[in-house]
Amino acid sequence: MKKMLKGNAVRQLVRSAAVTGLTLALAVPATAAVAAAPAAAIPPGLSCDTGKHAIDDYTGFALCRNNGSATQTFRVHLVCGWSPDVDGEHVTLRPGESGQSTAHCAGLGSGIGEIHVRP
């Protein structure tokens, strides 16, 4: 009887160690990948204002002007907290033009955490 109890305790200890090891193995690469991701910069030649809609914390925008001498394309990217991140529509601007890209985070999440402008 003692042998069987000792065997159960050892099995439980091995299972716990395996689950802990698997959890750590899965968590470390994900953290490293996030830390290594470069921050997106506003494309050169554009000047942009970003923000949330005045009456809706789930809708974000990027309003950009092309101050360069070449055509530029951009879109807004919203980091949506608990919901998946979303991208707005691509907007193409000729030199001197202005335009806006908008996107909307899912209502089940925590709203907009960050707003970026991407090419």
User: DSSP for the chain?
Assistant: -HHHHHHHHHHHHHHHHHHHHHHHHHHHHHHHHHHHSPPP-PPTTEEEEEEEETTEEEEEEEEEEE-SSS-EEEEEEEE-TTSPPEE---EEE-TT-EEEEEEE--TTS----EEEEE-
Say which CATH number the domain at 107 has. Answer: 2.60.40
The mean pLDDT of the chain is 77
pLDDT at 30: 32
Domain interval for residue 13: 1-37
* pTM of this structure: 0.65
Question: In total, how many domains does the chain have?
Answer: 2
Mean pLDDT by 10 residues, the chain (119 residues): 52 50 37 37 88 92 96 96 93 98 90 93
Do residue 56 and residue 86 come from a single domain?
A: yes
Whether residues 57 and 96 fall in one domain: yes
